[in-house]
Amino acid sequence: MIVTRFAPSPTGHLHVGNLRTALHNWLLARSGGSGSATGRFLLRIDDTDAQRSREEYVEAIRQDLAWLGLQPDGEYRQSERMDLYEDAFEKLKEAGRVYPAYETAQELELKRKIALGRGLPPIYDRAALALSDEQRAAKEAEGIAPHWRFKLDHEEHIDWADGVRGPVKFDPSQLSDPVIRRADGSWLYMLPSVVDDMDMGVTDVLRGEDHVSNTAVQVQMFSALHEAGMGPDHCDVVDSFPRFGHTALLVGKEGKLSKRLGSLSCEALRERGIEPEAILSLLARLGTSQPVEPIADRQVLIETFDLETFGRAPAKFDDAELERLNTAIVHQMDYAEVQGRLPEGIDEAGWHAIRPNLSHVSEAAEWWRLVTGPIEQPEFSDEDRAFLGEAADALAWSDNPWGDLTTALKERTGRKGKPLFLPLRQALTGMDHGPDMGELLPLIGEDEARARLEHAAGQTPA
């Protein structure tokens, strides 16, 4: 069984980049990979950063996923799993795979600049490994608490078959030993993530390409922890670690989306009236060779999800394309889907009449005013006022009042095309365009329609 996870930090609202990662993992789990049974999609709240994590964002994450229909099959919180990380840390310590380091942030930055100045890669020089027990004790006696690094094995090659990028290889000697624990005892991302993936039985980790170098380090962490006796025996893993896939990052028309992420948060999109199906339709196919289409049926997205269709080029997010998809999705929506979101009085016939003119469901009230009034009519010429007087006289109610009215007026006045239809629409709705008049006129009703025509003809006062 495929087991995937989405692991946001509750330090802000989810944005389109986060949503894309969540959706990909949900689709991979639901697709079962290659026709096998449906897998599990897990939510892991990465809240080890107590200072920045906020409970309101945890709840917002849950609400956003529920709104999108990406319900997880289980939820975990890292803040409740500290004992697991402590145990893993002690095992790595016993195995000699973690070590204390005492450099300050300023000292590390200076080392980095010196390395770059010499044309060398800015990786940690492992100076802390050369310290004797006495030197370590002296530093701690001075009140200098160590941070802890994971010791990469420079003899153990790092490679994996990436689900998107293909074969990936790293030389561990060209990577810095990562800091896994701060001097205050708090955890950084690397180790807890690996421990959780092992404990939760995660089989597939699908995330953005900005995590590729993290994966290289974590591959060795998986191996080290397995050698130390950690990890479930039943986990379907390859070479002691999950399958990895790294998707191209989202970019905007003008480059990075980072400056716009606030306006592209799930909360902001929802407030704009963007439908979940529009978001899913775009993010599921963006960056793949498959066409981006308005797909309301999620089963179609599940059945067509395929990592082999993902490209390496940056995936370009276009807000105009999202709006286009949203309009198309709205035009597909049945009355039952939107009934609870419509203004009072709009029945199925009303929804069917105004739906083709909507880009967002929230616009329904504006268009429904064409039925309920009041409307503001334009100024008509004397000739058009006379024509509209004829229309008021010719209006007769039937199963097809618009068709009967226009046929009768064509015979009486000889008008056709725009001179026939436009004054009628303007008199009845106050607009030059809008819903199909054949559907709209029965909703306006005979008495109101006649009153509007008579007013436009100047037969009744304003």
Tens-digit pLDDT profile for residues 180-204: 999 999 999 999 999 999 999 999 9
- Asked whether residue 233 carries a pLDDT value surpassing 60, the answer given is no
Q: Which two tokens stand for residue 311?
A: 């490209």
CATH number of 382-456: 1.10.10.350
For residue 152, what pLDDT is reported?
98
Tokens at 144, concatenated: 């200098």
Q: Quote the CA–CA distance of 309 and 350 in Å, as a whole number.
A: 42
Q: Which of 256-260, 344-348, 424-428 has the lowest mean pLDDT?
A: 256-260
Radius of gyration of the chain (CA): 32
Rounded to an integer, what distance in angstroms lies between the CA atom of residue 262 and that of residue 9?
16
Mean pLDDT, residues 223-238 taken together: 70
Residue 230 in this model has a pLDDT that exceeds 90: no
Q: What is the pTM of this model?
A: 0.90
In sequence order, the β-bridge partners of residue 316 are 251
Q: Beta-strand (E) ranges in 158-317?
A: 158-162, 166-170, 179-181, 204-208, 243-247, 250-252, 255-256, 315-316
pLDDT given at position 35: 45
* Residue 36 reports pLDDT greater than 80: no
Name the nearest CA neighbour of 19 among 267, 218, 194, 387: 267
Per domain, the residue ranges of the chain are: 250-332, 335-372, 382-456
Instruction: Report the alpha-carbon distance of residue 387 to residue 373 in Å, rounded.
Output: 22
- The per-residue pLDDT for range 92-104, each reduced to its tens digit, is 999 999 999 999 9
SS3 (DSSP) at 142:
coil
Mark residue 5 as left, alpha or beta (left: phi above 0; alpha: psi -120 to 50; beta: remaining). Answer: beta
What is the rounded average pLDDT for all residues in the chain?
93
* Owner of token pair 């005492």: 102
- What percent of the chain is modeled with pLDDT above 70? 95
| Average pLDDT rounded to a whole number, residues 389-403 | 95
Q: How far apart are CA 80 and CA 61, in angstroms?
A: 18
Structure tokens at 277: 């199906």
Q: Is 75 helix (H, G, I), strand (E, B) or coil?
A: strand
What is the pLDDT, as a whole number, of residue 261? 62
Query: Which of 405-415 are b and which e, b meaning 16 or more Cβ less than 10 Å from the residue's Cβ?
Result: bbebbeeeeeb
- Is the pLDDT assigned to residue 239 strictly greater than 70? no
What is the distance between the alpha carbons of residues 102 and 84, in angstroms, rounded to a whole number?
Answer: 25
In 3D space, the residue among 87, 173, 165 whose CA is nearest the CA of residue 126 turns out to be 173
Amino acid at 306: D
119: helix, coil or strand?
A: coil
| 143 backbone dihedrals φ, ψ, rounded to 5° | 90, 15
CATH superfamily of the domain spanning 250-332: Glutamyl-trna Synthetase; Domain 2 (1.10.1160.10)
Residue corresponding to tokens 């989202």? 250
Say whether pLDDT at 232 is over 80: no
The residue count of the chain comes to 462
